[in-house]
A = this chain, B = another copy of it.
Amino acid sequence: MNTSTLPRATHLPNELPGLDWVTDAARVARLSQDFAWFSPVLKRQLADKTADIAVRPRSEAEIAAVVGACARHAIPITVRGSGTGNYGQAIPLHGGLILDLSAYSGFGWVRGGAGRAQAGIRLADFDRQARPLGCELRWLPSTFRSATLGGLFGGGFGGAGSITYGPVAAPGNVLGLRVMTVEPEPQIVELRAPEAMLLHHTYGTNGIVLELEVALAPVLEWVESIAVFEAFDAALEFSSALASGPGLVKKEVCFLGAPVPAHLGPLAEYLPEGCHAVLIVMAEASQPGMENLLADFGGRITYRKTTAESGSRTLLEYTWNHTTLVAMKTDRNLTYIQSGFEPARHVEQVKALEALLAGEVMMHLEFLRTKEGRVNCSGLQLIRFSSEARLDEIMQIHRDHGVAINNPHAFILEDGKQGQLDPAAVAIRRRFDPQGLLNPGKMRSWKPLTPPGTSPRASC
């Protein structure tokens, strides 16, 4: 076997034998995938993308060693947490190395309402260690059991908790981070907000985030409930009023218009046929206020458990993109879109789109506060998939109604953000990844100074 024809990345274990390498093709292929299969479009486009090799470093020194080697050999690097992203965040477009940070998962500290940990820590682990210290994460995506802190920062929006604290991107949520440059001798830099935010939601393409320091929420006693309604409008208006009330302390308000509840098999006993449902996680002291509001809107509670009573089951795993995941388990022909309504007009917009598209588009809304603090909802509508052309048409209909689409059927960074990426986020890549080795092809706005695949040293 002439090893010189193999991708250069496969030689890395010889150079750095002490690391935890993954070379088995099937395992490397698995580590080269994420939840992009939610989209039939991405599934087709990204099916054959795979890294040459993966590595699972356990320390900063190990990360520096492998990153330095990649920089010297001009090997592309794709940073990965647990691979729970939906847009190919963890899928290498041009082979190379998967830098799996899930073993770089140390819990740092909690003090003064803030906390710090290594990027690979699972969100559930962070909370487990922070709670006895009186704090918990401000946002939990539905993937919190496996998703990492670095992955949430690199590719996530927020999740449960965003109804109070807004998205991860809201000023004050992320305080700082430690980033490693992709250079033959990697440097380590501490960035504080707002500069640190230039690395947020860039899918690990403009720097390798090693540690994150985030503001935390005080630990509260949470109660999980399911409220069901006969009328779509009543359920929607209840959700919006509940989300808005400043005296009602909540972590999650998830609206599921019929027939979405019918797709949540494991919760079937709490979801009467044909119902519209609202999944709620609220502070214990806010229960009576919620129940008063529920009476006003003619809903009723079918499920109610405190965190302690619910044990390992949590309704959070039926919200956000877990709604999509659970529904797709029963019907593989479903897909979804992501949409951002207009604060104050959101209820009216939802009603108009429901009137137009019911049957084909099934309403799933997550209530949240925007970065600017206004109550709004974000749609993760389920779609009965017919064709890519129709999917585009449906997204256009939303735009025509003043609803923004964050296209989850695109894998190029800019395409998921209405074509725009903050120029400063591109510029900072010159500092942290001068060769453009972080998943090349993912960031369209990046213009390499040296042609990709050419090591700057190879010309010496």
Which residues of chain A have a CB within 8 Å of any CB of chain B?
Answer: 112-114, 138, 164-166, 170-173, 175, 192-194, 215-216, 218-221, 243-249, 283-286, 288-290, 292-293, 344, 369-375
A244 to chain B, nearest CB (A): 4
Copies in the complex: 2
| Chain B neighbourhood of A244, CB < 8 A | 372-374
Cβ contact within 8 Å between B373 and A172: no
Complex: how many Å from CA A11 to CA B371? 64
Cβ contact within 8 Å between A285 and B113: yes
A-B contact pairs, 7 of them (CB 8 A): A171-B247, A173-B289, A193-B292, A215-B285, A215-B289, A244-B374, A245-B371
| Chain B neighbourhood of A220, CB < 8 A | 113, 218
Q: In the complex where A247-B171, A247-B172 touch, is A221 in contact with B289 (Cβ < 8 A)? A: no
Q: In the complex where A112-B221, A113-B221, A375-B373 touch, is A247 in contact with B173 (Cβ < 8 A)? A: yes
| Smallest Cβ-Cβ distance to A372: which chain B residue | B244
| Smallest Cβ-Cβ distance to A166: which chain B residue | B246
A300 to chain B, nearest CB (A): 18
A458 to chain B, nearest CB (A): 42
16 more A-B residue pairs beyond the given contacts A113-B249, A172-B247, A218-B218, with a C-beta to C-beta distance below 8 A: A112-B285, A113-B220, A113-B285, A114-B284, A114-B285, A165-B246, A170-B245, A171-B248, A172-B248, A172-B285, A172-B289, A175-B288, A193-B292, A218-B219, A243-B373, A374-B375
Complex: how many Å from CA A219 to CA B220? 11
Complex: how many Å from CA A372 to CA B220? 23
| Smallest Cβ-Cβ distance to A192: which chain B residue | B288
| Smallest Cβ-Cβ distance to A112: which chain B residue | B284
Cβ contact within 8 Å between B112 and A292: no
| Chain B neighbourhood of A113, CB < 8 A | 220-221, 249, 283-286
| Chain B neighbourhood of A372, CB < 8 A | 244-245
| Chain B neighbourhood of A289, CB < 8 A | 171-173, 175, 193, 215
Q: In the complex where A113-B221, A218-B220, A289-B193 touch, is A164 in contact with B246 (Cβ < 8 A)? A: yes
| Chain B neighbourhood of A114, CB < 8 A | 284-285
Cβ contact within 8 Å between A245 and B375: no
Q: Which 3 A-B pairs have the closest CB atoms?
A: A172-B289, A172-B247, A166-B246
Cβ contact within 8 Å between A247 and B292: no
| Chain B neighbourhood of A221, CB < 8 A | 112-113
Q: In the complex where A114-B285, A284-B113, A288-B193 touch, is A170 in contact with B215 (Cβ < 8 A)? A: no
Q: In the complex where A218-B218, A221-B113 touch, is A246 in contact with B286 (Cβ < 8 A)? A: no
| Smallest Cβ-Cβ distance to A370: which chain B residue | B246
| Smallest Cβ-Cβ distance to A368: which chain B residue | B246
A54 to chain B, nearest CB (A): 34
Cβ contact within 8 Å between A170 and B246: yes
A178 to chain B, nearest CB (A): 16
| Chain B neighbourhood of A249, CB < 8 A | 113, 172, 215
